[in-house]
Amino acid sequence: DGTISANKLFKNIQRTWQDRQIQNNVKVSNSFIQAVAGANNWDYYFDQAKIQYLENPKEKVDIVIFGHTHVPSYYTTEEGKLYVNSGTWVDHNTDFPEATRTFVVVESGKKDLAEIYSYLEDGTLQDLKPIVSK
């Protein structure tokens, strides 16, 4: 019948996509097809961060933090703005095995900074920027 649902949480999400974007205050709307096609492409999230915030002249944003993809990433734009994806806090990350228990630290000041780390089993921290930067 054309129903696309996510555990009945978003019944017929494709039919209510535009309304959902309005409810979520999406800055620059995109189509349901674009969003679904991009969901498994990790660069899509950076592209959306640029469109929605980092390169949107109506927004005054220097850092976008995202997560839940299980794939940590750290992008710097030509203007020095940041997109950081925290990845996941799970102990065994099947999507990105070399980075488990990952998190972002943000420091706000004259210049906002963001760092990304992995909490290792021995209790130490590993700086993930050299591994996940693009």
* Within-domain flag for 111: yes
| Euclidean distance between CA atoms 29 and 40, whole angstroms | 19
Which amino acid, residue 85?
N
- 54 closest CA partner among 129, 45, 33, 130: 45
Contact 100, 116 (CB under 8 A): no
Sign (positive or negative) of CA dihedral 61, 63, 67, 72: positive
* Within-domain flag for 45: no
The pLDDT of residue 39: 86
* Within-domain flag for 109: yes
The pLDDT of residue 64: 96
* Within-domain flag for 124: yes
Domain holding 119, by residue range, is: 62-132
* Within-domain flag for 54: no
| pTM score | 0.82
Could you give the number of structural domains in the chain?
Answer: 1
The pLDDT of residue 128: 94
Contact 21, 29 (CB under 8 A): yes
CATH number of the domain bearing residue 110: 3.60.21.10
Task: Give the model confidence (pLDDT) of 105-120 as tens digits.
Answer: 999 988 889 999 999 8
* Within-domain flag for 110: yes
* Within-domain flag for 116: yes
* Within-domain flag for 84: yes
Please report, in tens digits, the pLDDT of each residue of the chain (134 residues total).
666 656 566 778 888 899 989 998 999 999 999 999 998 888 999 999 999 999 999 999 999 999 878 889 999 999 999 999 998 887 776 776 777 889 999 999 888 899 999 998 899 999 999 999 98
